[in-house]
Copies of this chain bind each other. A is one copy, B any other.
Amino acid sequence: MGCEKDCCNAFLRCLFDYGTPVTLVISNKKVGFIFRLIQLLIITYVAVYVCWMKRFYQDTDSVISSVSTKVKGNILTNSSAEGAHVWDVAEYVIPPQGENSFFVMTNMIVTPGQTQGSCPEALSEFTRCESNIDCKIGLNEVRGNGVQTGRCGKYSETIKTCEVFSWCPIENDNIIPKTAVLGDAEDFTVLIKNNIHYPKFNFKKRNILDYINTSYLKTCTFNRKTDPDCPIFRLGDIVAEAGEVFSVMAVKGGVIGIFIDWSCNLDFPERFCVPKYSFSRLDNKHIENNVAPGYNFRFAKYFKTSENVETRTLIKAYGIRFEVIVLGEAGKFSIVPTIVNLGATLALLSLAGAVCDWFMLTFMKDSDYYAKHKFIHLNDRSDSGVPLVSKSQLFSFIFNIYLCKLYIFIVIELCWDTFIWDSIM
């Protein structure tokens, strides 16, 4: 009887002994109803929220992407100063190739024929002068355009400013063309080629979908309703979808995000994994505390005169930088997250029992009767195996509840302290 007789035999017996808790079944509608209700809530939550909405049974992977862009379009400008000029891609896309972004120049301030020399500084409250005394030799203002020579020069017929050694003449960027010089860039198109890769699932795809043929690509333009899969976008449409007016934005420039969302549920066939395009402005528009609003930068084209003197055309380019941001997280069924999340939610089911026990032993009028059968009280060293039932078990149970509350309180306290601490530091 048991493991003592034959050790090998005993071992085998023990190996296959199965222990299961003795269960007290209570046929009480109140407790039973609460028990089933809590069970139902937990299972519904798991089914609807965790499983359906959050797809806990899936492993996820982040997208690796490669983007290349190609802008097309020409603009004819006809200024009185410079005459007719046609602008093509090589001129208004700077730099000629970007990694995940491209910049289209829409407005500019051109300062041609700059050479190293001395000339009056651009007009500002700090640079005005009456005579040479107001200027300081060698002063190099971070926000200025050169190094002061100490002379006071004629900025215009009536105004004098300190002379600087610099690339002269100084650019005058106080007056930006109010109608963007290249405002017609609105009609340009850009072809975005995007190849993506989910390495964990060995899934590759590109934004030119399989059903799209070459003749369609030659004529189509992206339209959310009629051509949602065409990878050729009109710049004006992009800006309009981002909630901006192209002609306004073209004046001072800005940054537009082109989001390509490749979030896919790879448990479904590959053809359901298609990119979703969206657009939004990334920089701030017209908030009061804005510094250097819009988007611009300066670059120069360098020339040499026949006397071998370096001269340059300085261009302050305003324009729209389009950033192609590829987002995406793919999910596919995987056993590890399934087990981990299933285990965690199973553990929650045990909460149902704890809550019912508490309800049963606290609020039911027969709680003494239930406690008497649920708890078998063993006193230390006393041999009387007779179950002892008293308020003590109930007390112990309630004690546990309060211990729990205490901990929750401590946790909230700690979190609050962190908050205060973080905000002071």
Contact = CB atoms under 8 A, between A and B. Distances in A.
Interface in A199-215: 199, 206, 208, 210-214
Contacts of A16: 27-29, 31-33, 35-36
Given A1-B388, A86-B146, A339-B344, A19 B380 contact: no
A274 to B, nearest CB: 10
Give the number of copies in the complex.
Answer: 3
Contacts of A339: 45, 50, 344-345, 348
Given A147-B86, A376-B23, A298 B96 contact: yes
A265 interface: yes
Interface string A314-356: 1001000101010100000001100111111111101101001
Interface stretch (A68-76, A152-160, A239-247): A68-76
A14 B376 contact: no
Interface string A51-79: 11010100000001010101011111000
Interface string A98-111: 11110100000000
19 contacts: A19-B24, A19-B393, A20-B360, A24-B378, A28-B380, A52-B414, A66-B283, A68-B255, A76-B147, A90-B314, A97-B297, A98-B99, A191-B291, A193-B283, A213-B288, A214-B289, A302-B303, A343-B343, A369-B383
A1 B335 CA distance: 45
B378 A218 contact: no
Contacts of A189: 142
B10 A395 contact: yes
Contact of A88 (B17, B97, B167, B268): B167
Q: How large is the interface on A (under 10, 10 to 19, 20 to 34, 35 or more residues)?
A: 35 or more
Contacts of A83: 116
Looking at A99, A189, A257, A340, the one whose CB has the most chain B CB atoms below 10 A away is: A340
A295 to B, nearest CB: 6
A62 to B, nearest CB: 9
A174 interface: no
A332 to B, nearest CB: 13
A55 to B, nearest CB: 8
Contacts of A164: 86
Interface stretch (A127-135, A175-183, A415-423): A415-423
A411 interface: yes
B336 A50 contact: yes
A410 interface: yes
